[in-house]
Amino acid sequence: MNDVRKVVLKQGREKSLRNRHPWIFSGAVDSFPEFQNGEVLPVHSSSGEFLAKAYFHAQNSISGRVLTFLDEPISQAVTRRLLEAIQLRKGLFDPDVTNCYRLVNAEGDGLAGLVIDIYDDVAVIQISTYGMEALKPLIVQILNAQLRLQGIYEKSQSAARRQEGLSNFSGLLSGECPQEVIVKENGTLFVVDIEEGQKTGLFLDQRQMRQLTQTLSSGRRVLNCFSYTAGFSLFALKGGALSVTSIDSSQKACDCARANTHLNPTLKNRHEIVCEDVFGFLKNKELPFNLIILDPPAFAKKKQDVNEACRGYKEINRLCLQKMPPSSYLLTSSCSHFIDENLFGQLIFQAAVEANREAVICSSHIQALDHPVSLFHPEGRYLKSLLLYVK
């Protein structure tokens, strides 16, 4: 290893790396060599001790993202991380029942800037950083060597990517990939639009909460707000809901919900799909539903959005709590990274106070097993959910 080309931290700023946190902030760095954005460099303490290897970006406040805490070739580190991710998912799912899952969950699998979702025999990858962009050929090579895949499709479209100075990109990387793939989640069928669907095509991180919804739905009238693929709706219908109303402001989402319902024909007679703004619906309609699901898109996509997002979260929860009949359940979620669990809980508390309703927390979010969060990177826990019983 060439000791000249290394990143050196300021004195006393190595503690986070010793604690295996994968981010290196620019303010912690004493000196950089000349480098290209995305280049992997060794990181040393001020006393010269090797700490990690990370890829770097000169213009970001998070200037480095660690790929390994070992002094090893970076191709070896990435291969090891991917093999560990594959091993973790083995045995989690019966492929005859569930054949869609998250294979790589960014920092949760030690691969910051990379998400890989598997839909049957198609892998969809998202890359959000220069460092992962440079490693893409290696990632594709390893995936093809380790998994039986029909194709690998990249769908990298995010604000984080644009902040890196990378253009959005979508396209086939390997093999063949149909635009639509039909997959199974716990025996329920969904059509995944690989090219046009949100994110990689299906929100896999709410799998456990959809199962919880199924167990609660028997004999209930269910409202699923921001329904997108109608995942919660279909599991509510499977659980014996008397009726389910799915509402989304996107006509494309409503068409997707309708298609998924028709894939599961025993469920379709009790499912109403409404294309309407959710805020307007909650304000203007009676809510005779004794199970309501609020799983909105991220209201705070950047830090400056937090105040407005807080108002939005509080308002939709207040309206539901105010109008729901007694002895009802409210399952409410936030996927906004900048709204942490404490703040989200405070917002729901304020909503209940303003609605003048008494409620208790029966459960909090149940993490999907294929979405691990690193013990050393709690920032990876972005999704929050509370199940409330409204008295």
Q: Would you please indicate which residues are annotated as catalytic (active-site) residues?
A: 335
State the Cα–Cα distance between residues 81 and 67, nearest whole angstrom. 9
Question: 364 and 312 in contact (C-beta within 8 Å)?
Answer: no
Cβ-based neighbour number of residue 226 at 10 Å: 19
Closest CA to 182 of 228, 230, 122: 122
Distances (CA, A) of 332 to 27, 31, 135, 225, 374: 37, 46, 38, 10, 24
Closest CA to 131 of 33, 35, 199: 35
User: Distance between terminal CA atoms of the chain?
Assistant: 65
SS3 157: coil
The helix/strand/coil state of 119 is strand
| Torsional class of 297: left (φ above 0), alpha (ψ -120 to 50), beta (otherwise) | beta
Residue with tokens 């499912």: 271
Q: At what angle do helices 341-355 and 306-323 cross, to 10 degrees?
A: 40
Which amino acid, residue 2?
N
* CA pair distance 71, 43, nearest whole angstrom: 10
The CA–CA distances, whole Å, from 74 to 40, 67, 111, 320, 348 equal 8, 8, 12, 51, 45
